């Protein structure tokens, strides 16, 4: 069975500093990994995904994520945080489960960027 | 903005009432999903559909039911609302590929009093 872990409930970072939101995964086959962001009172928005190829994936709003197969991690990063980046971030993995595609979300990490 | 819509955005309703949360998408996606989101943020899959006349229960047991009579429409119904149903409900759809990302509606925040 596939699983995703986001070990930090909340991450605080000062504006202008680099940020990292952590995610580790477990799948039986190839990992198809996603990051989503949720602003208050909104649905989730897709940020980026890893399918295959380069381990560094670039996405929307200046975010990127680094895939590390040996550590089974897919951490979300941004070189310089903005106050407007404050939101909930969800990591997800999509895989086959008994003949059906299944998406599993992590528990979410609240990012707080401090002015 | 994604072409997936949920109505209503907010709903306050009394215990015992029947309610239907609407979800529609214009992207022609076969796969659609309903998630329930805790106040603390975690998402729980309660229903999914892989196409017309296909519906399955998700990981979290729910007293709600769904139907998929048309590709674009995936409504969720509660026959008798209870305070324990108070939550945020998110609808999503995705393309067929295992690589495809999901598109989410803006959610319905349901309060049962």
* pLDDT tens by residue, A7-46: 999 999 999 999 999 999 998 888 899 999 999 888 899 9
**In whole angstroms, what is the distance from residue B101 CA to residue A44 CA?**
11
pLDDT tens track for A40-78: 888 899 999 999 888 999 999 999 999 999 999 999 999
* Mutate: best of B25, B98, B105, partner A, most A CBs <10 A: B98
B6 neighbourhood in chain A, CB within 8 Å: 43
* A94 → closest Cβ in B6, B98, B109: B98
Q: Residue B1: pLDDT above 70?
A: no
Whole-number mean pLDDT of chain B? Answer: 92
Residue A103 β-bridge partners:
A94
How far apart CA A101 and CA A27 sit, in angstroms, is: 12
Query: At residue A101, does pLDDT exceed 80?
Result: no
Read off the tokens for B11: 């709903």
Residue A99 has pLDDT above 70, yes or no: no
pLDDT of the residue at A94: 86
| pLDDT the model gives residue A69 | 93
């Amino acid at each position: 069975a596939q699983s995703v872990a986001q070990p930090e409930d909340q991450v605080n970072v000062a504006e202008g500093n680099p940020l990292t939101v952590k995610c580790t995964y477990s799948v039986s086959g190839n990992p198809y990994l996603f990051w989503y962001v949720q602003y208050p009172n909104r649905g989730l928005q897709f940020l980026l995904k890893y399918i295959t190829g380069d381990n560094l994936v670039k996405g929307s709003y200046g975010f990127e994520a680094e895939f590390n197969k040996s550590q089974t991690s897919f951490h979300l990063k941004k070189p310089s945080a903005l106050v407007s980046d404050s939101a909930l971030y969800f990591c997800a993995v999509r895989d086959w489960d008994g003949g059906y595609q299944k998406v599993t979300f992590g528990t979410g990490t609240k990012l707080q960027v401090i002015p | 903005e994604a072409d997936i819509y949920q109505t209503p955005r907010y709903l306050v309703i009394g215990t015992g009432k029947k309610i239907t949360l609407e979800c529609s998408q214009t992207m022609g996606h076969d796969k659609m999903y309903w998630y329930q989101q805790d106040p603390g943020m975690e998402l729980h899959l309660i229903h999914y559909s892989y196409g017309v006349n296909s519906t399955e229960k998700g990981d979290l047991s729910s007293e709600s039911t769904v139907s998929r009579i048309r590709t674009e429409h995936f409504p969720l119904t509660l026959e008798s609302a209870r305070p324990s149903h108070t939550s945020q409900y998110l609808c999503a759809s995705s393309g067929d590929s295992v690589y495809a990302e999901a598109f989410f509606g803006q959610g319905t925040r349901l309060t049962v009093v």
